[in-house]
């Protein structure tokens, strides 16, 4: 049968099912196919914290949302145009997010009385008209997959597990996605079991052919490639981009990179990725705990490497004493905090921006460090390079504040020219620096950076004392002198405050906006999409985004005072807003949420419109 092909400018699809249904893999493969076509993409994985929550229950629902379009997009989308629901729990958990008229593809095989009862359905929603406002496509995904694999030498259990590939094949047909890369992926993934390669390929093709032949899907859609800057792109997650940024930092500095890490969600993927890059001089160590991990990283920096440690909020709390030691020793150290919802164990797989106060102030004594935050998955690469640059140049710990949203989300990344990356080479101390020509003064500072010399242990004539006790200026001897302590505390603070960072750039297309939206970290996408929506409706609004949170840009105060109102959306209870109010005496409007989910552009647009009305 001949099917109609309809052009769309963008689509949001959400795959949802039990945590064992392979929704993350399905979404990832669909995203990879979409990236090959040249669409702009943004993704939002969402999965339970439990390794395997009870099957068929609401807490066990795992989902993957992908937004792709023929234009520049900033978020994974507010509401799915299509929901693929593998069971009743997936339908119930996600239905409230769907707009009326959305397509729902449901696996009818799972809508049994038992599964319906697990999630509180009194009747089958596929039969009781409760879904009348949606376009429902009932598909017997499980039984059709099992039937398609009847001739293959796989167990019924393995056949049922392949239903996610059937769904992927159907959606790939429906949105005209290429599939060659998925077939190659399946060959690699199941290389040790050829029967599973054949089964999954057959399930995928069965889904594709079902879309081609069934009368239920009368329309096929196309989304043309986006107009993007010429170059080579790859789809990348924030954790992967951050890892490659650290590898690039090692190459551009000429230093070995040492990662000391203890596995913790959602930072563990950085350890996994960096462990693959030994050929670039990267050494990874999975420590027995968070304290050992940061201690080893600091020791590596003392020995002349770029020391890095990765963690999330609970781990930063454990590492705080050693970070304070790094402040006292004045050695480079990069601490990556991939934030998640807290406090304590909190919600490990959900996102939040609530570690800002800890990054800025969460150490005993006056122990300032530099703090920066990436704004998107691809930006994690450049943020990692910047963190390394500051750490190496100014001999200081740097906290890099990523979060679960950017860490596990993905977007196209334009591969940079390696020669365009910053030169991070450092000069180690090689000879005495005292006036007499024979004495080494470990705390004699560079007058421009206030950084002390970096002397590799074992260098002849450069023996010096290290440790957490206060050091005397220049000599590094232990000192309890009140005046010296005051001087050293102020000098360490000045070293951070005088780090030159780029001025804050403001996007104010009309130049007459009276309201500024200020953000940091992963709020960049939702803020940008909300402001874009308001401008398209003829409303004037400005936006600016902070990468450097300590020190802050020198022109920030001037920028803030240029607007009648400043709105600061954050996924916390107003931590940046408190800093802005205290430091710049600006009565910023704090707009907050702590739901474990990113802002939607629609809710921000509505909030900002109310502010504009009252200016």
Give all strands of the β-sheet with 565-570 in edge-to-edge order: 506-507, 542-546, 515-520, 565-570, 589-592
The two structure tokens encoding residue 415: 């591969």
Q: Answer whether residue 52 shows pLDDT above 80.
A: no
Q: What is the pLDDT of residue 1?
A: 60
List Cβ neighbours of 384 (8 Å cut-off, separation of 6 or more): 241, 242, 243, 244, 245, 246, 248, 249, 334, 336, 374, 400
Q: pLDDT (tens digit, 9 = 90+) per residue, 16-38?
A: 999 889 999 999 999 999 999 99
Q: Answer whether residue 82 shows pLDDT above 80.
A: yes
Average pLDDT over residues 407-413: 97
Q: Answer whether residue 333 shows pLDDT above 70.
A: yes
Q: Is 104 helix (H, G, I), strand (E, B) or coil?
A: strand
Q: pLDDT (tens digit, 9 = 90+) per residue, 536-588?
A: 999 999 999 999 999 999 999 999 999 999 999 999 999 999 999 999 999 99
Element (H, E) at 202: helix 194-213
Residues 407/383, Cβ–Cβ less than 8 Å: no
Q: What percent of the chain has pLDDT over 70?
A: 100
Residues 367/399, Cβ–Cβ less than 8 Å: no
Residue with tokens 């994974």: 76
CA distance 522 to 405: 7
Average pLDDT over residues 252-262: 98
Average pLDDT over residues 452-470: 95
How long a stretch of residues is the chain? 615
> Mean pLDDT of all residues in the chain?
96
Q: pLDDT (tens digit, 9 = 90+) per residue, 177-212?
A: 998 999 999 999 999 999 999 999 999 999 999 999
Q: Answer whether residue 51 shows pLDDT above 80.
A: no
End-to-end alpha carbon distance in the chain: 58
Binning pLDDT at 50, 70 and 90, where does residue 3 land? confident
Residues 329/341, Cβ–Cβ less than 8 Å: no
Average pLDDT over residues 587-604: 97
pTM for the whole structure: 0.95
**What phi and psi, each to the nearest 5 degrees, are found at residue 485?**
-60, -45
374-385 in b/e burial notation, b at 16+ Cβ within 10 A? Answer: bbbbbbbbbbbb
DSSP 211-262: HHH-SS--EEEEEPPP---SS-EEEEEHHHHHHHHHHHHHHHHT--EEEEE-
């Amino acid at each position: 049968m001949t099917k109609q092909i309809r052009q769309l400018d963008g689509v949001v699809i959400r795959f949802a099912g039990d945590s064992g249904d392979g929704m993350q893999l399905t979404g990832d493969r669909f995203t990879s196919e979409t990236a090959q076509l040249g669409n702009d993409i943004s993704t939002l994985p969402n999965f339970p914290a439990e390794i395997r929550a009870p099957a068929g229950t609401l807490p066990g629902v795992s989902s993957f949302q992908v937004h792709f379009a023929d234009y520049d997009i900033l978020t994974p989308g507010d509401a799915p145009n299509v929901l693929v629901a593998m069971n009743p729990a997936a339908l119930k958990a996600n239905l409230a997010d769907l707009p009326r008229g959305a397509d729902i593809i449901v696996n009818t095989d799972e809508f049994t009385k038992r599964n319906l009862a697990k999630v509180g359905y009194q009747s089958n929603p596929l039969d009781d008209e409760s879904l009348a406002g949606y376009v429902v496509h009932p598909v017997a995904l499980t039984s059709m997959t099992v039937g398609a694999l009847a001739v293959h030498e796989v167990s019924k259990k393995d056949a049922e597990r392949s239903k996610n590939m059937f769904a992927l094949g159907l959606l790939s047909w429906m949105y005209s996605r290429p599939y060659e890369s998925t077939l190659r992926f399946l060959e690699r993934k199941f290389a040790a079991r050829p029967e599973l390669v054949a089964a999954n390929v057959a399930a995928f093709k069965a889904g594709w052919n079902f879309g081609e032949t069934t009368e239920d899907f009368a329309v096929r859609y196309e989304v043309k490639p986006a107009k993007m800057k010429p170059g080579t792109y790859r789809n990348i997650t924030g954790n992967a981009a951050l890892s490659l940024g650290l590898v690039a930092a090692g190459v551009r500095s000429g230093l070995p990179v040492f990662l000391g890490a203890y596995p913790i969600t959602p930072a563990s993927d950085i350890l996994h990725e960096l462990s693959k890059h030994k050929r670039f001089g990267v050494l990874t160590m999975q420590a027995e705990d968070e304290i050992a991990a940061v201690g080893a990283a600091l020791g590596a920096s003392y020995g002349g490497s770029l020391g890095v440690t990765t963690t999330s909020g609970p781990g930063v709390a454990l590492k705080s004493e050693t970070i304070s030691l790094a402040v006292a020793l004045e050695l480079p150290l990069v601490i990556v905090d991939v934030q998640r919802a807290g406090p304590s164990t909190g919600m490990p797989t959900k996102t939040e921006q609530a570690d800002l106060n800890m990054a800025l102030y969460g150490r005993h004594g006056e122990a300032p460090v530099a703090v920066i935050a990436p704004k998107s998955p691809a930006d994690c690469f450049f943020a990692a390079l910047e963190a390394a640059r500051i750490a190496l140049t100014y001999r200081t710990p740097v906290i890099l504040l990523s979060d679960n949203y950017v860490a596990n989300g993905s977007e196209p990344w334009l591969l940079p020219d390696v020669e365009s990356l910053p030169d991070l080479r450092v000069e180690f101390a090689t000879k005495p620096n005292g006036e007499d020509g024979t004495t080494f003064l470990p705390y004699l500072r560079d007058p421009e950076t206030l950084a002390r010399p970096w002397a590799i242990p074992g260098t002849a004539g450069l023996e010096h004392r290290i440790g957490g006790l206060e050091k005397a200026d220049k000599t590094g001897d232990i000192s309890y002198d009140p005046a010296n302590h005051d001087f050293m505390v102020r000098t360490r603070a000045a070293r951070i405050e005088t780090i030159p960072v780029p001025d804050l750039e403001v996007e104010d297309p009309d130049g007459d906006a009276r309201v500024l939206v200020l953000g940091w970290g992963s709020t960049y996408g939702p803020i940008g999409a909300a402001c874009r929506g308001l401008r398209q409706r003829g409303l004037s609004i400005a936006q600016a985004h902070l990468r450097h949170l300590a020190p802050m840009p020198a022109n920030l105060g001037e920028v803030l005072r240029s607007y009648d109102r400043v709105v600061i959306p954050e996924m916390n209870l107003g931590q940046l807003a408190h800093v802005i109010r205290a430091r710049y005496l600006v009565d910023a409007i704090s707009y907050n949420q702590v739901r474990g989910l990113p802002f939607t552009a629609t809710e921000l647009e509505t909030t900002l419109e109310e502010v504009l009305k009252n200016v």
